[in-house]
């Protein structure tokens, strides 16, 4: 992949919609709203949006629209000939205020949405939603809740490696979390990401 950290001219220079995560990571460090238009130009030429990308793209667009309301009309105009799925996704994102996002129930999809919203704005409250979702690991008899809690834990471990502010936030707010969350948060803060992923796979094999 091109290094858009160092070359802004590559703005939305990915070749597959699946590369959106790379784009979101780069945006998190550089915060360039002028990159969003080229991204939408690219996506509007696709036949559809991969299912795995829907939640993350929704969260990212919701937050960049919230942060840059003056660009909403310009961005929306780029979707005239886009597939219905992308137009519908953008319409949903326009309706999601930060307050609405923070009221969402935890799920594996919403974990992706929270992370993308964080990368769009740097709002650590979205990280807090992921941290608190780790309590669902204790609900092992409910497969959906277990998967949500496990995905929260390993995704937090992965983001700690890339975002110092996430690491600092996790450490400084640990004492405010409920006891079950503190236990898993301590794991994330003291073990490497590969160990967390291995433990996560083991939990899901139960």
* pLDDT, mean of each 10-residue run, the chain (206 residues): 40 61 89 91 87 92 97 95 94 97 96 97 97 90 89 94 94 93 94 90 82
13 lies in the same domain as 100 = yes
CA distance 140 to 137: 6
Pick from 100, 123, 146: which residue ends a domain? 123
Q: Are residues 80 and 149 in the same domain?
A: no
Total tally of structural domains belonging to the chain = 2
Task: Specify whether 129 is located in the same domain as 119.
Answer: no
* CA-based R_g, the chain, Å: 17
From 154, 66, 162, 168, select the one nearest 117 (Cα to Cα): 66
Q: Are 170 and 204 contained in the same domain?
A: yes
Last residue of one domain, picked from the residues 123, 149, 174:
123
Same domain, 26 and 79: yes
Q: Are 61 and 83 in contact (CB under 8 A)?
A: no
Say whether pTM exceeds 0.85.
Answer: yes
Residues 187 and 106 in one domain: no
The pLDDT score that the predictor gives to residue 16 is 64
Helices (H), 45-107: 51-67, 72-77, 84-95, 98-102
- Last residue of one domain, picked from the residues 123, 150, 172: 123
Q: What is the pLDDT at residue 3?
A: 41
Structural contact between residues 35 and 27, judged by C-beta atoms closer than 8 angstroms = yes
Claim to verify: residue 69 and residue 143 sit in the same structural domain: no
Same domain, 101 and 69: yes
What is the structure's pLDDT at 114? 98
What domain range includes position 201? Answer: 124-206
């Amino acid at each position: 992949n091109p290094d858009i950290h160092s070359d802004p001219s590559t703005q939305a220079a990915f070749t597959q919609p699946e590369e959106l995560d790379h784009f979101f990571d780069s945006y998190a460090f550089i915060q360039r709203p002028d990159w969003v238009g080229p991204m939408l130009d690219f996506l509007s030429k696709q036949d559809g949006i991969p299912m795995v990308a829907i939640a993350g793209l929704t969260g990212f667009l919701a937050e960049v629209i919230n942060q840059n309301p003056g660009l909403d009309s310009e961005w929306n105009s780029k979707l005239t000939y886009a597939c219905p799925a992308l137009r519908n996704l953008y319409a949903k994102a326009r309706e999601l205020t930060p307050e609405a996002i923070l009221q969402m129930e935890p799920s594996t999809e919403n974990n992706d949405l929270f992370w993308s919203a964080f990368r769009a704005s740097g709002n650590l409250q979205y990280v807090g939603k992921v941290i608190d979702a780790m309590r669902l690991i204790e609900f092992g008899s409910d497969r959906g809740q277990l998967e949500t809690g496990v995905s929260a834990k390993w995704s937090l471990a992965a983001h700690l490696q890339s975002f110092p502010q996430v690491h600092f936030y996790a450490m400084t707010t640990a004492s405010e979390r409920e006891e079950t969350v503190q236990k898993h948060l301590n794991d994330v803060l003291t073990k490497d990401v590969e160990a967390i992923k291995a433990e996560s796979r083991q939990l899901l094999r139960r």
